[in-house]
């Protein structure tokens, strides 16, 4: 059978061509100039580095544990054809109901229908990046449903009218005085500069909402094929409440979240917590197997799971980058990325920010318009080192660049490369070029030709060496006694 | 999309997956394959050898069809690399308490249930609790005799969200205690449903020392065995009191779940 992988058009994601890149360059420049923002984000991350290292040290061998974790994900993703149906059968046997969505639009439709069928008056939601991906809140609101984000960071972002800044730390860029003002404006609370008091304001506000909501929407971190359970990781307890009190529980998950054995979680959960937030385990790691059982005190009457493709199968079809589906969304690669720390989360303009977002977004929304993210990399490899499931993110950025060059070659780049090859093949020409360049460098600095102006705006050209490298090398040889 | 018309979303997605997996992916970054000679087994995950040959000490056998074969589960391989869970019962007890204290939970060791009941009386009096919620369980019931306040019984027959919300504390039993991480495994079957261990401001867990296991995997196995393949609708590892770092990455306890987690360890 021939299956076409052309990405489905997602209305909310489509932008005029190249606008994404223009916006990226513009926003990046703005954010980089904002040294206050950079310092604030760095300071927020310092505590993370310390506790992450502390927790890593508790592993008897972190590097080997990474291999085991990557193996668990690799063997699940590469057998998705077998494990996904197995998970679905087990989940249905537990009393859960499964809905399949090819793309964002289909997923939104499914959730809207479920919400309508439940005659929902109020909806409470816990953190779910898949719902950000499909722009669910906007769709629910357009249909007249009120939906409240219960995760503190997501709640703050919802009040601010912004998407998450970081997919694990949604409001890490917001100062406490801004949050105090925000709560004052929307909830009528008195100003405070205590993070604790601000957290309690949200706590008090939210408790009623859990009780009154008819529908609770959550994400899912893992789908366990062996037992038909879904695993949800969180710290605040808001997902626990969201899946306990409302009458209907709807979970939304990408199809790639499957693991085969319950045991796999004994490896993945502590690694997710260590890499993601520097904890031994996050506070609540919960496995749900369908709705309330007979004899249980409480729990929803219905449990639904929306399984979303939305171009994940396109990534699956690329064996070279298939492992980017191993991602457990810990956010570690963002926290160590020099680009993320300088340009910030919003600049990416994507649901998934940072290095992993730069790898997968071109698959989700088209390489031609999103390849610039792969170019926004110093290729330092910090992301690859940080990844608990050993995704070789840094090389995938190079793969994207190569793929883009193949599918839509840039005429200027090609001309440049051809010129270089021509010069490099002729030592005399190479030497001559070098000499010309060494002598005209001060002139270039002074003239600032348009091609170099952007580059020179934030950098300085080094002083030209007096001699070429080859010349210096020749002179050094005898002194160091090399053969 | 002509090949997909007339198919359900489920069929389309499964067909896309099958099609996508035709070309095998290389092994995870840093791992090496042992041989290309084995034939694909019906359960490819059934087979992993551990050896020192690769960086990981894991060797993966590549099947002829290009599909991977593992002879040991990643969890079994990873066990010696994960955080220590303690060899002896005494070590496990010590690790558990250390970990819980680091998580800012309160641990109270008592010799028997009478002492546990006395302890509950004291904290209820100290904090001036008006009402505590509980569920029928042999470890929980004996504690309630002397509580100096009203109690609310949570069970399948009548459950009322608002009544539970107005309680100062919830008292539950648990499935297992995990030394490795300081986690407490609760379930909807043995901890009074879903909300009792998360909605009240304080969560009190009553457990016995023989419920301590070394690792997360051990706790999951214990739960699997106890429920004989029919898992409760909710199983939850609780690792410390509810917390958030969402405001400037500064740790605050008691985000939406309990602000305090108290473990009464009997025996
Ligand atoms: S790519 Fe790796 S480091 Fe980045 S979020 Fe995913 S799992 Fe974490």
Q: How far off is chain A from B251, nearest CA to CA, in Å?
A: 8
Instruction: Ligand 1, residue A168: give the atom nearest the CA.
Output: 5
CATH superfamily for B89-266 is NagB/RpiA/CoA transferase-like (3.40.50.10420)
In this structure, is the dihedral angle defined by the CA atoms of residues B164, B169, B175 and B178, taken in order, positive or negative? positive
Identify the pLDDT of residue B46.
32
CATH superfamily for A79-310 is NagB/RpiA/CoA transferase-like (3.40.50.10420)
Query: Domain residue spans in chain A?
Result: 1-62+331-409, 79-310, 414-482
* Test mutation, A67, A99, A108, A341, chain B, max B CBs within 10 A: A67
- Is B249 in contact with A172 (Cβ distance < 8 A)? yes
User: In this structure, which residue's CA is closest to atom 4 in ligand 1?
Assistant: A333
Ligand 1 centroid to Cα of residue A49, in Å, is: 16
- Interval A8-22 mean pLDDT: 60
Tell me how long chain B is: 267
Binding site membership of A337 for ligand 1 (Cβ less than 6 Å): no
**Residues in A touching B16 (Cβ below 8 Å):** 3, 5, 309, 313, 316-317
Q: Which residue of B has its CA nearest to A390?
A: B29
Identify the pLDDT of residue B62.
46
* Listed range (A64-73, A227-236, A464-473, B63-72) with the worst mean pLDDT: B63-72
Identify the pLDDT of residue B79.
87
**pLDDT value at B50 more than 80:** no
| Listed residue (A275, A267, A303, A308) closest to A288, CA to CA | A303
State the DSSP H helix or E strand holding residue B195, giving kind and residue range, or none if neither. none
- Interval A392-418 mean pLDDT: 90
- Interval A377-385 mean pLDDT: 94
**Residues in B touching A287 (Cβ below 8 Å):** 231, 234-236
Query: What are the structure tokens assigned to B134, written together?
Result: 């509980």
Identify the pLDDT of residue A3.
37
Identify the pLDDT of residue B150.
94
Identity of the residue in A81, A285, A314 whose CB atom sits nearest the CB atom of B21: A81
- Interval A315-334 mean pLDDT: 96
- Is A153 in contact with B246 (Cβ distance < 8 A)? yes
Q: Which tops the pLDDT comparison, A251 or A404?
A: A251
Question: Hey, is the C-beta of A276 within 8 angstroms of any chain B C-beta?
Answer: no
**pLDDT value at A354 more than 70:** yes
Cα Rg of chain B (Å, integer): 24
A109-112 own/partner pairs: CB under 8 Å, 24+ apart: A110/A306, A111/A136, A111/A139, A111/A140, A111/A217, A111/A250, A111/A252, A111/A306, A112/A139, A112/A140, A112/A143
The answer to whether B85 and B178 have CB atoms below 8 angstroms apart is yes
Binding site membership of A394 for ligand 1 (Cβ less than 6 Å): no
Question: Hey, is the C-beta of A438 within 8 angstroms of any chain B C-beta?
Answer: no
- What is the Cα–Cα distance from A351 to A230, expressed in whole angstroms? 22
| Listed residue (A221, A272, A69) closest to B74, CA to CA | A69
Ligand 1 centroid to Cα of residue A149, in Å, is: 24
- Interval A216-245 mean pLDDT: 97
What angle do helix axes A35-58 and A264-277 make, rounded to 10 degrees? 140
- Is A62 in contact with B81 (Cβ distance < 8 A)? yes
- Is B248 in contact with A237 (Cβ distance < 8 A)? no
Query: Domain residue spans in chain B?
Result: 2-81, 89-266
- What is the Cα–Cα distance from A102 to B10, expressed in whole angstroms? 8
Ligand 1 centroid to Cα of residue A327, in Å, is: 5
- What is the Cα–Cα distance from A244 to A299, expressed in whole angstroms? 5
Binding site membership of A387 for ligand 1 (Cβ less than 6 Å): yes
Q: What percent of chain A is predicted at pLDDT more than 90?
A: 79
CB within 8 Å of A156: residues ≥ 6 apart: A170, A171, A174, A179, A182, A202, B246
**Residues in A touching B234 (Cβ below 8 Å):** 243-244, 286-289, 299
Pocket test for ligand 1, best of A331, A334, A335 (most atoms within 8 A of CB): A331
The answer to whether A236 and B241 have CB atoms below 8 angstroms apart is no
SS3 B226: helix
**pLDDT band (50, 70, 90) for residue B54:** very low
Q: What is the mean pLDDT of chain B?
A: 85
Note the ipTM here.
0.89
- Is A316 in contact with B194 (Cβ distance < 8 A)? no
Report CA-CA distances (Å) from B19 to A76, A85, A360, B224.
Answer: 16, 15, 20, 35
Cβ neighbours around A59 below 10 Å, total:
20
In this structure, is the dihedral angle defined by the CA atoms of residues A269, A274, A276 and A282, taken in order, positive or negative? positive
- What is the Cα–Cα distance from B125 to A239, expressed in whole angstroms? 32
Burial of B169 (C-beta count, 10 Å sphere; 0-12/13-18/19+)? buried
Pocket test for ligand 1, best of A70, A259, A271, A330 (most atoms within 8 A of CB): A330
* Test mutation, A263, A383, A399, chain B, max B CBs within 10 A: A263
User: In this structure, which residue's CA is closest to atom 6 in ligand 1?
Assistant: A327
The answer to whether A391 and A328 have CB atoms below 8 angstroms apart is no
Cα Rg of chain A (Å, integer): 26
Identify the pLDDT of residue A471.
87
SS3 B4: helix
Pocket test for ligand 1, best of A48, A387, A390 (most atoms within 8 A of CB): A387
* Listed range (A288-297, A412-421, A459-468) with the worst mean pLDDT: A459-468
- What is the Cα–Cα distance from B180 to B190, expressed in whole angstroms? 22
- What is the Cα–Cα distance from B140 to B117, expressed in whole angstroms? 9
Q: How far off is chain B from A451, nearest CA to CA, in Å?
A: 39
Identify the pLDDT of residue B38.
32
Question: Hey, is the C-beta of A61 within 8 angstroms of any chain B C-beta?
Answer: yes
**pLDDT value at A460 more than 60:** yes
Q: What are phi and psi of A409, to 5 degrees?
A: -65, 145
**pLDDT value at A7 more than 50:** no
Question: Hey, is the C-beta of A9 within 8 angstroms of any chain B C-beta?
Answer: no
- Interval B85-110 mean pLDDT: 97
- Is A293 in contact with B232 (Cβ distance < 8 A)? yes
Ligand 1 centroid to Cα of residue A26, in Å, is: 27
- What is the Cα–Cα distance from A180 to A202, expressed in whole angstroms? 11
pLDDT in tens, B171-182: 999 999 999 999
- What is the Cα–Cα distance from A203 to A427, expressed in whole angstroms? 71
Q: Which residue matches tokens 């063997």?
A: A75
A9-18 own/partner pairs: CB under 8 Å, 24+ apart: A10/A103, A10/A104, A10/A105, A10/A310, A10/A365, A11/A105, A12/A104, A12/A135, A12/A138, A13/A104, A13/A364, A13/A365, A15/A369, A17/A368, A17/A369, A18/A369
The answer to whether A164 and A170 have CB atoms below 8 angstroms apart is yes
Q: Which residue of B has its CA nearest to A211?
A: B161
- Is A71 in contact with B31 (Cβ distance < 8 A)? yes
Burial of A341 (C-beta count, 10 Å sphere; 0-12/13-18/19+)? middle
Identify the pLDDT of residue A479.
59
**pLDDT band (50, 70, 90) for residue A475:** confident
Query: What value, to the nearest 5°, has the Cα angle with vertex B133 and ends B132 and B138?
Result: 115
The CA-to-CA distance between both ends of chain A, in Å, stands at 63
Binding site membership of A327 for ligand 1 (Cβ less than 6 Å): yes
* Listed range (A260-264, A286-290, A382-386, A403-407) with the worst mean pLDDT: A403-407
Identify the pLDDT of residue A443.
86
Q: What is the mean pLDDT of chain A?
A: 91
């Amino acid at each position: 059978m021939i299956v076409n992988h052309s990405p489905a058009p997602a209305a909310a994601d489509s932008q005029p061509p190249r606008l994404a890149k223009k916006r990226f360059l513009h926003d990046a420049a703005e954010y980089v100039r904002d040294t206050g923002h950079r310092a604030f984000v760095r300071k927020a991350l310092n505590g993370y580095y310390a506790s992450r290292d502390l927790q890593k040290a508790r592993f008897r061998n972190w590097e080997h544990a990474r291999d085991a974790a990557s193996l668990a994900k690799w063997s699940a993703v590469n057998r998705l054809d077998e494990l996904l149906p197995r998970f679905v059968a087990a989940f249905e046997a537990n009393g859960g109901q499964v809905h399949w969505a090819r793309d964002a639009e289909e997923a939104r439709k499914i959730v809207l229908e479920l919400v309508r069928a439940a005659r929902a008056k109020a909806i409470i939601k816990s953190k779910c990046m898949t719902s950000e991906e499909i722009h669910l809140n906007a769709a629910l609101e357009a249909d007249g449903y009120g939906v409240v984000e219960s995760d503190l960071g997501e709640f703050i972002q919802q009040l601010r009218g912004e998407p998450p800044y970081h997919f694990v730390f949604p409001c890490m860029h917001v100062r406490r005085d801004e949050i105090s003002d925000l709560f004052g404006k929307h909830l009528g609370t008195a100003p405070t500069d205590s993070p604790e008091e601000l957290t309690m304001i949200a706590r008090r506000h939210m408790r009623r909402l859990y009780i009154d909501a008819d529908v609770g929407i959550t994400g899912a971190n893992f789908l366990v094929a062996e037992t038909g359970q879904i695993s949800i990781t969180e710290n605040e307890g808001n997902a626990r409440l969201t899946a306990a009190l409302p009458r209907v529980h709807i979970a939304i998950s990408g199809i790639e979240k499957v693991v085969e054995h319950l045991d796999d979680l004994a490896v993945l959960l502590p690694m997710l917590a260590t890499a993601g937030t520097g904890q031994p385990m996050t506070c609540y790691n919960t496995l749900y197997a369908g709705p309330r059982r007979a004899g249980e005190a409480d729990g929803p009457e219905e449990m639904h799971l929306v399984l979303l493709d939305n171009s994940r199968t396109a990534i699956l079809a690329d064996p070279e980058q298939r492992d980017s589906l191993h991602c457990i969304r810990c956010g570690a690669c963002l926290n160590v990325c020099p680009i993320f720390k300088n340009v910030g989360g919003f600049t990416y303009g994507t649901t998934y920010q940072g290095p992993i977002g730069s790898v997968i977004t071109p698959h989700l929304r088209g390489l031609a318009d999103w390849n610039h993210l792969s170019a926004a990399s110093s290729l330092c490899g910090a992301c690859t080192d940080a990844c608990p499931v050993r995704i070789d993110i840094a090389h995938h950025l190079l793969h994207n660049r190569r793929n883009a060059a193949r599918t839509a070659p840039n005429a200027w780049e090609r001309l440049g490369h051809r010129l270089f090859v021509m010069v490099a093949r002729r030592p005399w020409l190479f030497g001559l070029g070098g000499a010309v360049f060494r002598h005209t460098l001060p002139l270039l600095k002074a003239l600032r030709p348009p091609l170099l102006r952007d580059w020179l705006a934030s950098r300085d050209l080094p002083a030209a060496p007096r001699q070429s490298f080859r010349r210096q090398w020749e002179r050094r040889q005898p002194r160091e006694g090399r053969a | 999309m002509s090949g997909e018309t007339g198919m359900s979303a489920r069929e389309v997605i499964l067909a896309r997956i099958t099609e996508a997996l035709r070309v095998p992916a290389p092994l995870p970054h840093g791992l090496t394959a042992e041989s290309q000679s084995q034939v694909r087994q019906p359960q490819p995950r059934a087979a992993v050898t551990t050896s020192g040959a690769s960086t990981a000490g894991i060797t993966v056998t590549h099947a002829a069809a290009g599909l991977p074969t593992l002879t040991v589960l990643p969890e079994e391989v990873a066990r010696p690399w994960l955080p220590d869970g303690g060899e002896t019962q005494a070590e496990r007890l010590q690790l558990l308490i250390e970990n819980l204290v680091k998580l800012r939970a309160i641990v109270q060791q008592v010799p028997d249930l009478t002492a546990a009941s006395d302890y509950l009386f004291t904290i209820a009096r100290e904090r001036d609790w008006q009402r505590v919620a509980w569920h029928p369980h042999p470890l929980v019931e004996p504690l309630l005799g002397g509580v100096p306040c009203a109690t609310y019984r949570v069970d399948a027959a009548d459950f009322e969200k608002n009544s539970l919300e107005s309680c100062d504390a919830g008292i539950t039993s648990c499935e297992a205690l995990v030394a490795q991480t300081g986690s407490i495994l609760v379930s909807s079957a043995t901890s009074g449903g879903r909300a009792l261990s998360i909605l009240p401001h304080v969560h009190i867990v009553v457990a016995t020392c023989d419920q301590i296991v070394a690792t997360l995997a051990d706790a999951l196995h214990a739960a699997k065995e106890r429920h004989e393949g029919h898992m409760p609708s909710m199983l939850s590892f609780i690792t410390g009191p509810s917390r958030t770092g969402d405001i400037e990455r500064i740790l605050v306890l008691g985000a939406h779940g309990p602000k305090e987690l108290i473990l009464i360890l009997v025996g």
